[in-house]
Chain A
Amino acid sequence: MRLSVDHRTTYRFSSPQARLTQLLRLIPDGTHDQSVASWNLHVDCDARLRHGRDGFGNRTTMLYVEGPIESIEIAVSGEVLTHSSNGVVHGAHEPLPPAVFLRATPLTTPDADIAAFASAIPDGDPITRLHALNLAVHRRFALDRGRAVAGRSAITAFSQGAASPRDMAQVFITAARVLDVPARYVSGYSPVCAVGAGRPAPHGWAEAYVAGLGWVAFDPCTGLSADEAYARVAVALDSAGAAPVAGSRLGEGEEMLDVDLHVDRSGQ
């Protein structure tokens, strides 16, 4: 499948900022299941960009802007060719072993409710259990199509009736780790679960590690494994670690975030 992505992130500041420092995870890597046909990152002001990789193997871009700056638009666009792999990830850059992804973070610490929810998944072979967990998360929440609340933990998300894709993914990985399955958050692009043409944020789903198979992608938003309609960009222990933009600014006032995102599929 050919997925074309057009993703613009705009920050506007209520008063000019003296400096912006951002860590971007906006560039996908090729795997055996996805190849990046074209990809551009463009910033609408005089920014210095430095490319690298983080500890999880994600491509990163450091963005440095000196002020005064009132707004910035970060635009990525490109095309990714994907192949169906039944959700199994092949050939990704994996600097860390699966066991790292068993640890809880502040956003993915379970409480008794999540632990009970996870433990209620019937015993079975690992892949069946993970599918059951994925479906259970999917059924538990109504889809919140608005922008995810920044910094919301799995515990908080679990207590709500509706959840963003990000929150559902985070509940999934928290619960999977309760079952002693390595699990991680994935940030990337997919046309699923969209309303009309636009999306409020890049998509978030999960990958869980199954011995013998490797990392398998699950999207509790659909209740299914992620298929060729997904382009993965970054993985981490939680949504904060895989955030497309982590930023710091020097200056007074508020910031207003605006995201314009279109993901289209063309051809099988």
Chain B
Amino acid sequence: MGMRSAFDEIMGQAGSTTPRAELAALGNWIATTPDAELRRRQQSAEATFRQLGITFAVYGDSDASERIIPFDIVPRIFLASEWARLSEGLVQRVEAINAFLHDIYGERRILSDGVLPPDLIFGNPQFRPEIAGIRPPHDVWAHICGIDLVRTGPDDFFVLEDNARTPSGVSYMLENREAMLRLCPELFRDFRVAAVDSYPDRLLETMKSVAPQGVAAPVCVVLTPGHYNSAYYEHSFLADSMGVELVEAADLVVDDDIVWMRTIAGRVKVDVIYRRIDDDYLDPLVFRPDSMLGVPGLIAAYAAGNVAILNAPGNGIADDKAIYSYMPEIVKFYSGGEPKLPNVETWRCREPQALKYVLDNLADVVVKLVDGSGGYGMLVGPTATKAEIEAFRAALIAEPHRYIAQPTLALSTVPTMTDAGLAPRHVDFRPFVLTGSKGVQVVPGGLTRVALKEGSLVVNSSQGGGTKDSFVLMDDGAQPLEAQTQTQSQEQTA
């Protein structure tokens, strides 16, 4: 395991000294652009990000609360044919997530058919009984999904994690592209790259499409917890680029089960809310009573069908790590076919046999907390110290149900600028998938995260990861394809 056997997305199979044939132009660009020039451009991009305030807060690090995420100048590239297959898998996965949420808060057929153990749902804090029985407008739940993928070969993609609550990172996709267009225009002459700058339009279109029935010109807003939030830049960026209001809870009021926005010109009825606050803080009358961030009555307005909330409250049950290992069964159950995008093999440590295997192989596996995120509470066996491994062994034995484990995958690499020049670094990928009333679409691009430390597999920005632009090619050197994958969603209860 580790870097030696890893597939390089530009160079091809490990050990190759020439780039993949379709990407020869990029190899040429790398070879002919001096490192100093690549570094200069990279620094220019980072200076812009700093100026824009695209920073993030590192949890548990009070000194460096505002950092920019390092940007790497070498893009990662998807061929059109690779993207087409990947998109099909993403559409299938997100359709299944929507169908699952519709079912689990409604009829719960998947439980009565014995596909999932009921305690996995009912004992899970992410299953919110408070909103059971509510049907969101147009039955769409997971409007904006970020599906985290890893790759081990040309066509070998695996889902690492689903994000169906409030996935962030789309502003990096857009800003990284803008920087690349400015700093490396020659690459866009060499390659026909699908544009991502339509994302705000597509998001707005998605929001309008799920407005309650009978609303002719829906009013949409972005709801932020405020400027102390680490993703505030993204909230204001998205509101700005969609041309809608960025509001905080105090700007909204519910009256007669209708949501209103206070403006200087008086009250304006709100039909669609893209919320970037957690369920717990949505409505103090239903969730946490001590919440100052929420809007009293919001859930009543939602239950009455008078407002759409993106993403729907209660979605956490779909992207929970305990549920993740069952996603292949979930996809199969709702789509009727085999999953086109596989999961990473996962051992559920709550199962004694799996636990035994994990304990016997701690040095080779990745162990994750079921309820952890952001790369915290995680053991990467091959790079861990003996002491770290023994600490996890004790934790696993004490509370096995809190952990899952996965094999250490030979994550693909992409050439990345390092102090010693360009070198392969491991990457993952978060594409963004939008679901509106008319179907599911995959945005042709996404967020590539790169582990900047040599050999590291942890790409989280809080753990020293950076980002890259992600090119989706519109053709494999032949005729241009339609950049956007659009399918009609299946009847969700079918």
Contacts and interface: CB of A to CB of B under 8 A. Distances in A.
Interface of A: 19, 21-23, 48, 50, 52-57, 60, 62, 64, 66, 95-97, 99-100, 102-103, 151, 237, 240-241, 246-248
Interface stretch (B70-78, B124-132, B218-226, B357-365): B124-132
B296 A102 contact: no
Interface stretch (B252-260, B421-429, B456-464, B483-491): B252-260
Main secondary structure of the interface of B (DSSP, over half): loop
A151 B290 CA distance: 10
B256 A50 contact: yes
A238 B272 CA distance: 32
Chain B: number of interface residues, binned into ranges: 20 to 34
A246 B129 CA distance: 17
Contacts of A54: 130, 286
A60 B119 CA distance: 28
A149 to B, nearest CB: 15
Interface in B375-425: none
Contact of B300 (A52, A57, A102, A151): A52
Contact of B304 (A50, A96, A97, A151): A50
B236 to A, nearest CB: 25
Contact of B122 (A55, A100, A241): A100
Q: Identify which of A53, A103, A237 gathers the most chain B CB atoms within 10 Å of its CB.
A: A103
Contacts of A97: 118, 122
B125 A103 contact: yes
A246 B300 contact: no
B103 to A, nearest CB: 14
Q: Which of B122, B125, B286 has the most CB of A within 10 A?
A: B122
A203 to B, nearest CB: 21
Contacts of B125: 103
A64 B129 contact: no
27 contacts: A21-B285, A21-B296, A21-B297, A48-B255, A50-B256, A50-B257, A52-B300, A52-B304, A55-B128, A55-B132, A56-B129, A56-B132, A60-B300, A62-B297, A64-B256, A64-B297, A95-B132, A99-B118, A99-B119, A99-B123, A100-B129, A102-B122, A103-B123, A237-B129, A246-B285, A246-B289, A248-B296
A21 B254 contact: yes
B134 interface: yes
Contacts, number: 71
Given A21-B254, A62-B300, 20 more contacts: A21-B296, A23-B285, A23-B297, A48-B256, A50-B256, A52-B304, A53-B133, A55-B129, A55-B130, A56-B129, A60-B300, A62-B297, A64-B254, A64-B297, A95-B132, A99-B118, A100-B129, A151-B289, A246-B285, A248-B297
B454 to A, nearest CB: 44
B133 A95 contact: yes
A55 B255 contact: no
Listed from nearest, the 7 A-B pairs whose CB atoms lie closest are: A248-B296, A99-B122, A55-B132, A21-B296, A23-B285, A48-B256, A62-B300
B323 interface: no
Interface string B95-123: 00000000000000000000000110011
Most buried by A among B123, B125, B253, B300: B300
Interface of B: 118-119, 122-123, 125, 127-134, 253-257, 284-286, 289, 296-297, 300, 303-304
B311 to A, nearest CB: 18
Contacts of B303: 52
B320 to A, nearest CB: 14
Contacts of A64: 254-256, 297
B285 A248 contact: yes
Nearest to B125: A103
A20 B301 CA distance: 15
B119 A248 contact: no
A252 B255 CA distance: 20
Contacts of A248: 284-285, 296-297
Contacts of B254: 21, 64
B255 A66 contact: yes
Contacts of A102: 122-123
Nearest to B288: A106
A247 B134 CA distance: 21
A248 B284 CA distance: 8
A134 B381 CA distance: 49
A94 B303 CA distance: 18
A46 to B, nearest CB: 12
A41 to B, nearest CB: 16
Contacts of A22: 285
